[in-house]
Chains A and B, each alone.
Chain A
């Protein structure tokens, strides 16, 4: 596929997205009005959209200014007036997460360039001052991302809210340095995405995913997947999310090799990534460790895990997904994961400034799913794991006084499970998987109604043991032959739990002949060799050369190459991290 062909394909998919958005009538927002303007709609309809109340926060600040920049000749002056008011006469809020601040600062930088002659902005300062502040923060965050990793990393929900602002700067910023760095940042985020793209899903661990981590097709990122990687049948319900519509309307086109890399699943391979430590505010003795991700991208499944660096109570990020097995399938039918649904009065105040006595109820009232006993997401400080290719060991040592002294393991319905030698096994067609719970468990079901029907539905193994855990192995069908052979081989392969209760160690042989040995808060060994997590690059995978710390990336596929050099100044201190994620 030539670059020209790829661009034509992206052009066509972009127009398809915009047309469907317009025809569905979902174009009447600041995010998605691009669809009307691209499809011959009445530009004057934007006046009513723009004059509606928009909370002057990040989710309104960025789409308005992007619209003005993308369609400079088409925007009615009355609509521009309303959008401009957000930047001159409202009391803006910048939020408290990385995606909030990125949308806030990118929106204000573009506005400061557009209305540079205004005497003062909404904050009482000249536009040039806002531009300087915004560019400092944006360039500082790009420097962080390109050297120590993306902070609010691999979020199925928020990756788009990172990508679109950088894309907007790459397209519309006047400042040449900001524009150039943002263009590289946008491509870097696509590399990040492509490395763990799996049949429309974002495989591996996620900094933020929330209560949809049993779904395969999640959030506005699906639009980016479809737009840039193709690979799927177009489904307007999934591929017209408003937050990604600015990307569909933009001129930006990544190099075709990223799509080829995303879709190349011929050879099973390991993807390794490094991400910065989570920003815990208080309640812990030590600063969290660096985040390391390991994802086994097999032909029929992807198994991903995370060394979260969050091993001290009460640090338990609300949205984090540390590991899962994912494959191609419908919502709630193609994921296996487990979680200790850690609850603590101080779990939220470890990351938020509100009073510990109040914050749990305040957050939980708005998001009750964060507190439910069946929760399948959200980090537990008592969770440890190691992985080698398609085999993972997940262990918990839960204090006796913990509010939830058990682990929830999700198994999808719609499949036929069997049990042998303590293993729960299933034939998924192209591959097989076996789960070996550690600790006494009971087979339950789990269901949560949602706005689209069965928000969450499946089997729930409640492992009621303070020293709970599991071992999981997934193998391709052609690796072992029939399912009966798999069950026999998995049941008879070496598994030693004898040292778990007293010594904290679990040892298992995988069916490909590797030996995994894990000690809770101790060594992680494969075939007797310690896993060197410090050796993880920023990105590691086939055709990817991206070491930590130097801001240089080289991606090759076939004969094509993409290089990104962010010009990292390793002597310069990073912009202080002042957001959560």
Chain B
């Protein structure tokens, strides 16, 4: 079913074939977008940015609409144009449309032109592997800079004026694909395909995080209150980035991980394929939840929302 006028925006959100929500990570409802593989999500107080295989969408919380529409399905508003597709990652940006996007065609910035959003790639001069980008983060220490996970490692883009081609610079994490980025515990974290998990204090200098995943393919990262969750080709790992990573759960390709922000014993892991898995005991035991095949992104509930505790 499709949710209408509910609290979906504040609860658990899962991007799979379409967008799905749940209050308790157990009972899942379709928000919309069936047929669209959802790759990334950014939540704002009254809406959601949804990056999909076929474009970028703003999904509104219909509760915020005028009351006659409150029971209507949440509307999906197209934000992409004919140059932006197969979006693998998005990051919040100032202004309108409020996000930057990455795809196989690289990093792209949007702007309003004649009342609609138009997008421009900022990848002139890059090789194909430098262009193919899986994730993006705003640089936590340098406004106007973006950390980009590319097929050739982590690169940094500085946006001079928001309109024209800026500058790219490499980092010392180069030569292997980067699949995910995370800023947590005052550090940047990078998941690489074949090279394990790395961390950085400044985005430019990277060093291996923890031990035991040196040649691992890692596809997703998430944070608990005091640690890091990683989705790998052989299941979930967790650790603090210093000591040895601990393995948890079934051996499957984990493409999304998240922990509840009010109770970090509750973890969710999404697999490609393998569906959605939930642990209520910090990874000691796991069980499938919902009716998913492949899950590409999980957003935990915002603090104070989403059912906490054990049934």
Which residues of A are in contact with B by a Cβ distance under 8 Å?
55-57, 91, 93-96, 101, 105, 123-125, 129, 132-134, 136-137, 140, 280-285, 287, 353, 355-358, 575-576, 578
Contacts and interface: CB of A to CB of B under 8 A. Distances in A.
Nearest to B82: A137
B116 A129 contact: yes
A357 B253 contact: yes
A353 B35 contact: no
Contact of A576 (B121, B132, B253, B255): B121
B105 A283 contact: no
Nearest to A100: B54
B193 interface: yes
Given A123-B77, A576-B83, 7 more contacts: A94-B54, A94-B55, A125-B116, A132-B116, A280-B128, A284-B129, A358-B273
Contacts of A96: 53-54, 85-86
B32 A578 contact: no
A144 to B, nearest CB: 13
Contacts of B179: 355
A356 B193 CA distance: 10
B255 A124 contact: no
A507 B63 CA distance: 75
A281 B128 contact: yes
A357 B33 contact: no
Contact of B104 (A124, A134, A136, A353): A353
Contacts of A132: 116
B85 A578 contact: yes
A353 B103 contact: yes
A282 B104 contact: yes
B35 A55 contact: yes
Interface string B194-216: 00000000000000000000000
Q: Which of A57, A123, A355, A356 has the most CB of B within 10 A?
A: A355
Interface in B30-51: 32-36
18 contacts: A93-B35, A95-B54, A105-B82, A136-B82, A137-B82, A283-B151, A284-B129, A285-B128, A285-B129, A353-B53, A353-B103, A353-B104, A358-B253, A358-B273, A576-B83, A578-B82, A578-B84, A578-B86
A26 to B, nearest CB: 27
B54 A281 contact: no
A284 B35 contact: no
A134 B78 CA distance: 14
Nearest to B114: A132
A362 to B, nearest CB: 8
A90 to B, nearest CB: 9
Contacts, number: 90
Interface of B: 32-36, 53-55, 75-78, 81-86, 88, 103-105, 115-116, 121, 127-129, 131-132, 151, 179, 193, 217, 219, 233, 253, 255, 272-273
A93 B255 contact: no
A434 to B, nearest CB: 41
Nearest to B272: A358
B103 A355 contact: no
A87 B151 CA distance: 37
Contacts of B105: 576, 578
Nearest to A354: B272
B189 to A, nearest CB: 19
Given A93-B54, A125-B77, A357-B217, A282 B151 contact: yes
Nearest to A89: B73
A165 to B, nearest CB: 15
Contacts of A57: 35
A105 B85 CA distance: 14
Contacts of B35: 55-57, 91, 93
A25 B240 CA distance: 66
B88 A353 contact: yes
Contact of A124 (B36, B78, B84): B78
The 6 A-B pairs with the shortest beta carbon distances in the complex, nearest first, are A124-B77, A123-B78, A282-B132, A137-B82, A281-B104, A282-B151
B88 A284 contact: no
A93 to B, nearest CB: 5
B76 A123 contact: yes
A284 B32 CA distance: 37
A284 B128 contact: yes
A56 B54 CA distance: 13
B129 A283 contact: yes
A316 B272 CA distance: 24
A283 B128 CA distance: 8
A575 B83 CA distance: 8
Contacts of A280: 128
Contacts of A356: 193
Q: Which of A282, A357, A576 has the most CB of B within 10 A?
A: A282
A576 B115 CA distance: 21
A283 B233 CA distance: 19
A101 B80 CA distance: 14
Contacts of A133: 81-82, 116
Q: Which of A101, A133, A575 has the most CB of B within 10 A?
A: A133
Nearest to A362: B273
A132 B128 CA distance: 30
Given A123-B77, A281-B132, A283-B129, A355 B219 contact: yes
Contact of A357 (B53, B129, B132, B233): B233
B253 A355 contact: yes
A124 B76 contact: yes
A91 B219 contact: no
A123 B88 CA distance: 20
A137 B84 CA distance: 12
Contact of A91 (B36, B129, B131, B272): B36
